Structure 1
Amino acid sequence: MIRIKQLTKTYGAKRALDGLDLTLGAGVTGLLGPNGAGKTTLLRCLATTLAPDGGAVDAFGLDPADREQRTTLRRRLGYLPQNPGAYPHFTAFDLVDYVAILKELTDREHRHAEVRRVLAEVGLTDQAATKVRRLSGGMRQRLALAQALLGEPDLLILDEPTVGLDPEQRMVFRALVSRLGESRTVVLSTHQTEDVAALCERVVVMRDGRAVFDGTPGELAAVADGRVWLSDTPPATSELFWRTADGRYRTLGAPPPSADPTAPGVEDGYLMLLGEAA
């Protein structure tokens, strides 16, 4: 169990986290929110790469503010940052092996077996001997995910993990994360509402450093109940609409003339919840 209590973080005049309270348990929790909502700042605090200005984090009974407990916690977490760095002249295997050494996997035989395992998990076994600079953007993203999976962490923190992945790779990622969420805590930040709908049993929507929604994807979709419409002509009084693939217009909010109601999705609920901020 991870408990976040009155967490605050300020950058100059900008308050990225504003007294955030949140409790996270086993399973996959998705973080949604507009740019600047505080999602990445929260994940960096959970990953112990950033110290909050106030409040507290209790992760598995460990306090990251204490140096020794922070080290213990780092042994139990895996972190995929939003912009993962990589040494371009390393091979994929060597890079993950280097990170495994940093994670204190000191037995060479065991460490190499673990490196091969996580490369296989993300579908990069055939690219193990390829230099990082020769990998595609999607492959580099999967390589960063492999590093986060080293040591089978109890807490997996993923910031925009599906960036650069094609549809097939995204499907494999969803299967992997949903399996991991059966026995550990997974927190992922994303702008992809379809990822949240597909694999998160819980979703937290953030705005201005606070949680403005905490529930299931179905409950988030229900925020837009009775507010989603399909019409043959574009609405004259709404700016929140788009033309669908079948040529009809999907509108959020008040019904246009001669419009038919339709079932809302997670994206509809998110847009209705945040309004212009979304």
Structure 2
Amino acid sequence: MTTIRITGLGKRYGATTALDDLDLTIGRGVTGLLGPNGAGKTTLLRCLGTAQAPDSGRIEVFGLNPAVAAERTALRRRLGYLPQSPGLYPNFTAAALLDYVAVLKELTGTRQRRAEVRRVLDEVGLTDRARTKVRKLSGGMRQRLGLAQALLGTPDLLILDEPTVGLDPEQRMFFRALISRLGETRTVLLSTHQTEDVSALCERVIVLRAGRAVFDGTPRELAALAQGQVWLSADPPAGGSMYWRTADGDYRTLGVRPPGGAAVRPSIEDGYLTLLGPDAATAVR
């Protein structure tokens, strides 16, 4: 079942094209969105999250057109959105902030709203921080609080822009477990620079470049783009191949086989770097 249908979507900022005649359909499950800085990922999510309007093209989410005011309101009732830099009021407590957002999401019954706030705090592991002011939370906790506000009202569509920023390994594992459960019953669109999150969570991955989709497939298919181009050797390669020294002291090369190089299984990151070519040098963190 199709949740999102995008046709001919375009968005410009002055002379810069952020989205270029983009066509996509997205259904239930967890879909990863990859791409270098400036590829159009955040612009796409802002358009889907009804935070801004495209210049051209059409978006339908659950058959609703966000360009129509009444349909945009209906869509927002089914939407949870975590922007890249969520604005969290620093002097609110975690619970008070969520209560405020719950009112904005039309959860007006006091008892229902308080129960929902408790539920999402528990979902993200912040129950013991309910009365802590936002400014006193760590960066990772604030990120989890941002996710909590997106979960209010049990949205059918969850849009997450760089949700693992600031999370330590334990928190990232917690996040992955939560998102994988959510993706079983709803549509989750996850934009990230972390290819390991895509590998762990996503049944489908879309790679954007200059506002266009240059890859749409499974993580395994993305990794396969680097098949026969990843090598492990005792010595570094000569020339312009991309390589790095591993913790074991060997050299992992992406590109031309180095002397004595043994082929190794490519990762999603290898496929992503192969797809983007020279632009990939600063695309993966």
For 2:279 and 2:5, locate their aligned partners in 1 and report how far apart those are by CA, in whole Å.
Answer: 27
Q: CA deviation at 1:137?
A: 0.3
Deviation at 1:46, TM superposition (A): 0.3
Aligned ranges for residues 87-106 of structure 1 at < 5 Å?
Answer: 87-106=89-108
Q: 1:60 aligns with which of 43, 59, 62?
A: 62
1:178-217 pair list within 5 angstroms? 178-217=180-219
Matches within 5 A, 1:21-170: 21-170=23-172
Q: Is the 8 A contact 2:241 2:256 kept in 1?
A: no
Q: Which is worse superposed, 237-246 or 37-46?
A: 237-246
**Other structure's SS at 2:39 match:** coil
> Distance in 1 between the 2:21 and 2:278 partners?
23
- Aligned twin of 1:249: 251
Once residues 12 and 151 of structure 1 are traced to their aligned partners in structure 2, the CA distance between those partners, rounded to angstroms, is 37
Q: Whole-Å Cα distance in 1 between the matches of residues 4 and 133 of structure 2? A: 37
How far, CA to CA, are the matches of 2:279 and 2:212 in structure 1? 14
Q: Which amino acid aligns with 2:141?
A: M
Indicate the larger mover: 100-109 or 233-242: 233-242
Matched residues, percent identical? 73
Unaligned runs of 5+ in 2: 281-285
State TM-score, norm by structure 1: 0.99
Q: Deviations over 1:168-209 (max 9, x none)?
A: 110110010011001111001000000000000000000000
Name the SS for the 1:116 alignment partner.
helix
Aligned to 1:16: 18
Cα shift readout 1:47-98 (whole Å, capped 9, x = no counterpart):
0001000000010010000000000000000000000111111100000000
Aligned length: 278
Residue 238 (structure 1) shift: 2.6
Offset, 1:239:
3.8
Question: Could you tell me which residue of structure 2 aligns to residue 3 of structure 1?
Answer: 5
Q: TM-score, normalised by structure 2?
A: 0.97
Deviations 1:79-122 (A, max 9, x none): 00000111111100000000000000000000000000000000
Determine helix, strand or coil for the equivalent of 2:159: strand
Change (3 A) 1:255 1:239: closer
Structure 2: distance between partners of 1:19 and 1:27: 25
Residue 256 of structure 1, CA deviation: 0.6
